[in-house]
Chain A
Amino acid sequence: METEFSGYQVQTEYFEGPLDLLLHLIRKNKMNIIEVRLSQITNEYLAYLEGKRGLNPSRESEFLMTAATLIYIKSRSLLPKPENMDDDSPEKQLIHTLIEYEKIQKISRMLREMEYTELLLWRRLEMNESFANREYELKEVSAFQLAEIFFDIVKKKEYEQFLEIPSKNYSIATKQEELLALLAHSGYLDFSEYISKLDSIEELVVSFFTLLEMVKRHLLIAVQEQLFGTISLYRNEPGKLEN
């Protein structure tokens, strides 16, 4: 977060959005936010936009929109109008937004300090770690991870010697019943263990698609407790995903 030191700003000059940049320009020009004449900093704002220096690249359209508002305000200020600063003039509105945004920045700074003090204290269930892990509990992610493990195992199988046995017809429907029966028996299924026990590539493929289908239809939940850990499959019971 920038302060009024211009020397300090050099390394931290990065603007989240147009309001951030405007506040920076107001401070830099030592203006009072309540009496600021936005038309005076319009040129500087546009120069930043042109140079694109320190601007959040994904926010280009929002920077441009504010530029349009600024130009509009400037053009209005050129017109001889006595009641230029009535309550709902675009300038008043923008200044109001800026005052509010300045408060938000202050609160953010306070929260950052509080966050810093709290991050020094470690809890039983380390908050940071649980944050990192939580992402792997997401179904979308586990589907990719399922695929990764699946291809690993297929690769391993390729090096194994197989006895050719007459092919059996596997279908997703029968496989699903088989899996549900297994789950009803043991409560959960270790994905890698199960899949490496299968003998033929064909059965492997069918099992894998069945699992994906079941996860997709919310019949199963795939949970990975830690990064690179094994994936466990559970019957989906309401409420289980919450924790």
Chain B
Amino acid sequence: MNPEALSRQIALIEALLFVSKEPVEPGRIMEFLGLDDIEEFEKVLAVMEKDQLLDRPERGLMLKRSGGGLQLVTKPDLHDELKQFFTIKQATKLTIASLETLSIIAYRQPATLTEISLMRGVNSTGPVKNLLQKKLIKITGRKQVPGLPALYATTPEFLVYFGLNNLSELPSLEELTELFEEKEQPSLFK
């Protein structure tokens, strides 16, 4: 690709990502740019990321792949100052109850409220409502058992919220155990 065409494509990608509120699927951008080779597209993205965004300390944005798409986001080290500018006291984090509920739904989906409550050992109506309201989970159907309880599953917003492209990016339970064991081991010998 000649340098002019490349610059043009990078400019277009940046512009359309700037305007979009949600992650944009790479396929849509490729179609728009008339590219059909994913590798070629990746090369364009790599140039854009390296030469113009990530490696340039004077740029405040970076390219982020989550929720199955591309998005322009601010660089993490700007967070504190941005918070001051927009006078946001604290980022609203999920409660432990919500996180536990979300863990069960993410790994066992679809799950019913009864299953969630049993696994957590406490009634989980509150966190389920809260997560529905935040659109991190949705009702996908009804379980064919007496009472026809609602079945809950995660949403695309869940993926974006946790910076995932798809559910398979969540580590398996085995990997998770290793992940935490490595961290916990040294403390045992203290």
Q: Which residues of A approach B to under 8 Å, CB–CB?
A: 1, 3-5, 16-20, 56, 59, 62, 66, 97, 100-101, 103-112, 114-129, 131-132, 134-135
Contact = CB atoms under 8 A, between A and B. Distances in A.
A118 B157 CA distance: 13
Interface in B157-190: 160-164, 171, 173, 176-177, 179-180, 184, 187-188
Interface string B116-151: 001111110000000001100000000000000000
B92 A110 contact: no
A4 to B, nearest CB: 6
16 contacts: A3-B187, A56-B122, A100-B119, A101-B119, A101-B121, A104-B103, A105-B100, A106-B177, A108-B99, A109-B180, A115-B161, A121-B62, A121-B79, A121-B163, A123-B71, A125-B22
Nearest to A66: B121
B158 to A, nearest CB: 10
Given A107-B106, A112-B99, 16 more contacts: A4-B184, A56-B122, A104-B104, A105-B100, A106-B180, A110-B171, A111-B106, A111-B162, A118-B161, A119-B93, A121-B62, A122-B78, A123-B21, A124-B18, A125-B22, A135-B133
B76 A120 contact: yes
Contact of B123 (A1, A62, A104, A126): A62
Interface in B74-118: 74-79, 82, 86, 88, 91-94, 96-97, 99-100, 102-104, 106-107, 118
A139 to B, nearest CB: 13
Contact of A111 (B103, B121, B180): B103
Nearest to B176: A106
B99 A97 contact: no
Interface string B58-75: 000010101000011111
Nearest to B79: A120
Counting contact residues on chain B (CB < 8 A from A), the size range is 35 or more
A108 B93 contact: no
B20 interface: yes
Contacts of A131: 92, 134
Interface of B: 18, 20-22, 62, 64, 66, 71-79, 82, 86, 88, 91-94, 96-97, 99-100, 102-104, 106-107, 118-123, 133-134, 160-164, 171, 173, 176-177, 179-180, 184, 187-188
A116 B76 CA distance: 10
Contacts of A56: 122
A117 B102 contact: no
B76 A121 contact: yes
Contacts of A3: 184, 187
